[in-house]
Amino acid sequence: MGLSFSKELKAAIPEYVFGINRVKHINKVLSTNPEWRIESFALLKKLLNNMIAKDASDLDFGGPRAKSKIWYRIYGDKNPDPNVGDLNEDDAIIVALSVLSTDQKKNLIANKNLDFALSMKLDETETDFRFRGNIFFERNFLAVNLRVIKQKLYTMAGLGIPAPIVKRLDLQHEKSGLCLLTGITGSGKSTTLDAVVDMNNHNNNAHIIVIGNPIEYIHSSDRSIVTHREVGADVESFQRGTIESLRQDPDIIVVGEMRDAKTISTVLEVTDSGHKVFSTLHTSSTIDSIHRIIAEFPPDEQERVRYRLADVLKVVISQKLVPDKKNKLTLAKEILSVDHSVQAAIRNGNITELYQMLTEGKSQGMFTMQQDLYRLFKAGVITMETAMNYCNNKKVMTNLLKYSGH
């Protein structure tokens, strides 16, 4: 599967050149051979076509880690594809560079990492597919991950979000406050966030500003005007985008990710000023999300942050994608809805109280990850083993299964 010019490329690059200098050399050779770029881009399209055909979520290649193989993640499992040929480290570099602009290449060299979005037509129907990409250095070579951005938008009902929570996420019912979607990488946070944006877009006459890195799904303005700003291309950072949005007459601000204390602080301030804000965190539970936000700040600031968070936080949805009995993935989640009692528990740092409220808050749309996994098990969607493997508290999960006779 390699490139037809692999031998010429190898001859053009000195063996003693490694790392960034090797990438620069390859880029220079690529710029003087436009036909090489065309072939490299065509090869990438072939790999992406395979990705779509296999219903894979991720594609990986490049770097010594890949062992010259093409890797796909299909329904949670990542494996090399035995049906495609090898792609060596230098060929992988040239394929990666073939899709980047001059500015993107400069950013990659400067930061040794690049996040980007890629849009292209792959099939005979001229369907536009979008991908989220990350290129990074691995042992002096470039490695690539591409994740397909599903163009299917889910409804709140399709995601199993309870009616009381849907109401709180909708601008027409709650005009302000912070709503968080949390989970590890690959847990479907972006999909849920896009579903929330879509609901608000169709239900409200408003202005929604989406700040992403990169922008994944492009929402077509309906009842709302939807503005998309990509970090790096349209705005300097999540923090700057959040601050600048205040001068753009927003009703809803979507901050793709709260990565650091500065962004978190800015989001809390903007929410405190009366705006509705949605954002994401890389945490595995609703309570961990509260801990994570507070822990980002120095000890002498944590009490102030705890009080401010208690005032503005409205909903936390923590989710996981777990394997079902059909060898596909299904959504399991934990939901915290903030009322006066939850606010008091956050202010006091009373975690035991918070967990009890989660467990007993079904009428408000709340439940724990263990309760939702138990629901999926009882419905015959997942196995008992999956429930145990993906729960946040094995003791609680064991008791739930035990008391139900399993």
Over residues 322-375, the pLDDT tens digits come to 999 999 999 999 999 999 999 999 999 887 899 999 999 999 999 999 999 999
Q: What is the mean pLDDT of residues 121-131?
A: 77
Structure confidence at residue 85 (pLDDT): 87
Cα distances from 361 to residues 96, 371, 374, 387, in angstroms, run: 49, 11, 16, 21
Query: What is the number of other CB atoms lying within 10 angstroms of the CB of residue 399?
Result: 12
User: Which residues are registered as beta bridge partners of 276?
Assistant: 177, 252
Structure confidence at residue 126 (pLDDT): 63
Mean pLDDT rounded to a whole number for the chain: 94
Q: pLDDT (tens digit, 9 = 90+) per residue, 136-157? A: 999 999 999 999 988 889 999 9
Domain count, the chain: 2
pLDDT confidence bin for 406, thresholds 50/70/90: low
Structure confidence at residue 341 (pLDDT): 95
Q: pLDDT (tens digit, 9 = 90+) per residue, 30-39? A: 999 999 999 9
Q: What is the mean pLDDT of residues 46-58?
A: 94
397 domain residue, yes or no: no
Query: What is the number of other CB atoms lying within 10 angstroms of the CB of residue 227?
Result: 18
The pairing of strands 113-121 and 77-80 is unpaired
Q: Would you say 157 and 147 are in contact if contact means Cβ atoms under 8 Å apart?
A: no
E strand spans, 324-374: 329-337
Residues 141 and 188 in one domain: no
Residues 191 and 250 in one domain: yes
405, pLDDT greater than 70: no
What percent of the chain clears pLDDT 70, i.e. is strictly above it? Answer: 98
Residues 279 and 218 in one domain: yes
CA distance 111 to 107: 6
81, pLDDT greater than 70: yes
Structure confidence at residue 352 (pLDDT): 82
Per-position b or e across 366-384, b if 16+ CB within 10 A of its CB:
bbbbbbbbbebbeeebbee
Q: What is the DSSP string of 278-331?
A: EEEE--SSHHHHHHHHHHTS-HHHHHHHHHHHHHHEEEEEEEEEEE-TTSSEEE
13 domain residue, yes or no: yes
Structure confidence at residue 124 (pLDDT): 64
Structure confidence at residue 128 (pLDDT): 83
Q: What is the DSSP string of 17-74?
A: --HHHHHHHHHHHHHT-HHHHHHHHHHHHHHHHHHHHTT-SEEEE-SGGGTT--EEEE
Residues 41 and 110 in one domain: yes
pTM value is 0.87
400 domain residue, yes or no: no
248 domain residue, yes or no: yes
188, pLDDT greater than 80: yes
Range of the domain at 194: 163-367
For residue 146, the surrounding DSSP H or E stretch is: strand 141-149
CATH at residue 98: 3.30.450.90
Structure tokens at 160: 């199993």
Residues 224 and 133 in one domain: no
For 22, half-sphere exposure in the C-beta direction (CA atoms, 13 angstrom radius) is 24
CA distance 135 to 141: 10
CA distance 73 to 68: 16
Of 334, 351, 367, which marks where a domain is finished? 367
| β-sheet with 113-121: strand ranges across | 77-80, 71-74, 58-61, 141-149, 128-138, 113-121
Residues 196 and 292 in one domain: yes
Q: What is the mean pLDDT of residues 226-231?
A: 96
Residues 349 and 298 in one domain: yes
Structure tokens at 297: 């700040």
Residues 99 and 194 in one domain: no
Residues 131 and 231 in one domain: no
Q: What is the mean pLDDT of residues 177-184?
A: 97
CATH at residue 315: 3.40.50.300
